[in-house]
Structure 1
Amino acid sequence: MALYDDPRFLAGYRELRRTGMGLNDELEIPAMSALLPSVDEGLRVADLGCGEGELAVRLASSGASVIAVDASTSMLSQAVEHPRIRYLQADLAQLDLPGASLDLVVSSLALHYVEDFAGLVGRIARWLVPGGQFVFSVEHPVVTAPLEASAQVIDDYADEGRRQRNWFVDGVVKYHRTIGSIVEALLAAGFSIEALREPQPSLDQVERKPHLAVHRRRPPLLLISARRS
């Protein structure tokens, strides 16, 4: 069962989004939007880990033709319909798409659930046309690093691999990799790095939403824009 098909997890996640207590609205969405290209009519896009289609709808509403992919039946059942979006239920670990069929691949806070990041990046490079762009966000490696979820300091950074966390439910599995490993995987697949961002809340944001204060101590997110050479 996909993580987001667990009713307890899904209820917790939706409440987080409803109340604005997550990082999406304040940090991730503005940072992602700043890295995305201007969308021309007919731009061919794949959204990996699309959830309920929020990003896919924004892109499609600007004229893009979007393949929106997610493993969760529950999330896709609530996805917003749009004439320029085709939703596809698939595990990113097995997903394959036609070569040179995309101009842009995006992924919002999904790839830290993927074990074989380098393998997926290699496939994405094949899916993109030359000059195509790959823009994604993940939990920052300083957040995923500690082997013990209760650790209050950056620890175990060099020990890449599986991490198990309690987030709404026990046993949520994510994969830690260093920034260096992420960049090396992109370079090995033939990408050039155009931007690397580590957004943190401003003092004004913390004043409005005090729960964001911890994220000024260390960056919660990593965003990268890469282009296929």
Structure 2
Amino acid sequence: MKQNIYDNETFFQGYKALRQNDTGLNGALEIPAMQAQLPQLSDLHVLDIGCGFGDFARLARSRGAATVTGVDVSARMIKEARALTDDPWISYHQAAIEDFVPVEDSFNLVVSSMALHYVADYVQVIDRIYRALKPGGRLVFSVEHPICTAAPIGWITDESGNLGHWPIDRYGDESIRSTRWFVDGVFKYHRTVATYVNTLLQAGFQLLHLGEPAPEPELAASRPELQGHLRRPPILLLAADKPG
């Protein structure tokens, strides 16, 4: 099933506030970890799948990317991205990830931030990305860690609200999960780490990096809401190259 929860008013406003105030995992963990896996961006043609507000598109252009194409299913996200962007070499397209078919051999870099766990047919999307990349091109993407998506009921706490443990169940059951994030009925697709990695290899990619970003202890000490992420990984980060 295709989902566009980001156009839900309550969800959109909650997510927008989260990103604007940098109160989530993106700024603390995911963005620095992704940027560490990027190639030099000068003169590259870049595709951002699940581009959101266009933050990465603008960053890539500031670092010399020749063009950036952003794709997102949300009309609200695309409208916001266009309002924040004044650059003829950045283009935004509203489309579901499952429906977007990029031109083959047209990009040097494809990135996707916390979006592919919303996609039912991961194999098809990875195949299209592989075809869209030029030889020697790179894919860098993040998803919610399978430890989190397996049984998405959150931390088990004691009567005082102290974190006890994070339950893991049905890990091998690769199917849809319904969770609450700002609103009820947010659907994500659980996959194992093995599936995320082996699909890349079967498509022809060469794996460069498998990361599970965690906060530095000093950061977690200053932001108590990050403490739990020292005990279980919230993000899976993968980088892979198409052979040149």
| Aligned equivalent of 2:160 | none
How far apart are residue 149 of structure 1 and its match? 5.5
Q: Matched residues in 1 for 2:152 and 2:48: separation?
A: 30
Structure 1: runs of 5 or more not aligned: none
| TM-score normalised according to structure 1 size | 0.96
How far apart are residue 129 of structure 1 and its match? 1.0
| TM-score normalised according to structure 2 size | 0.90
- Asked whether the 8 Å contact 1:147–1:156 carries over to 2, the reply is no
Q: Matched residues in 2 for 1:148 and 1:208: separation?
A: 26
The answer to whether residue 235 in structure 2 is matched with residue 221 in structure 1 is yes
| Aligned equivalent of 1:44 | 45
Residue 140 of structure 2 aligns to a residue whose secondary structure is: strand
- Asked whether the 8 Å contact 2:107–2:137 carries over to 1, the reply is yes
The answer to whether residue 97 in structure 2 is matched with residue 92 in structure 1 is yes
The structure-2 alpha-carbon separation of the partners of 1:149 and 1:159, relative to structure 1 and needing over 3 Å to count, comes to farther
Number of aligned residues: 228
| Aligned equivalent of 1:8 | 10
- Asked whether the 8 Å contact 2:110–2:139 carries over to 1, the reply is yes
- 1:85-164 matches, within 5 Å, as 85-146=90-151, 148=153, 152-164=166-178
User: Cα deviation per residue 1:75-125 (whole Å; 9 max; x = unaligned)?
Assistant: 111112222201111111011011111111000111111111111000111
Corresponding letter in the other structure for 2:141: F
Corresponding letter in the other structure for 1:120: V
Q: Matched residues in 1 for 2:152 and 2:233: separation?
A: 18
Match of 1:206 among 220, 225, 233: 220
| Aligned equivalent of 1:53 | 54
Q: Matched residues in 2 for 1:16 and 1:69: separation?
A: 21
Corresponding letter in the other structure for 1:108: S
Structure 2: runs of 5 or more not aligned: 157-165
The answer to whether residue 187 in structure 2 is matched with residue 173 in structure 1 is yes
Q: Matched residues in 2 for 1:169 and 1:100: separation?
A: 39
| Aligned equivalent of 1:192 | 206
- Asked whether the 8 Å contact 1:147–1:155 carries over to 2, the reply is no
Residue 172 of structure 1 aligns to a residue whose secondary structure is: strand
My pick for the range that moved more, 14-23 or 179-188, is 14-23
User: Cα deviation per residue 1:61-88 (whole Å; 9 max; x = unaligned)?
Assistant: 2121111100111011111222220111
My pick for the range that moved more, 15-24 or 206-215, is 15-24
User: Cα deviation per residue 1:190-210 (whole Å; 9 max; x = unaligned)?
Assistant: 001001110111110111110
Q: CA RMSD in A?
A: 1.3
Q: Matched residues in 2 for 1:155 and 1:200: separation?
A: 22
- 1:54-69 matches, within 5 Å, as 54-64=55-65, 65-69=67-71
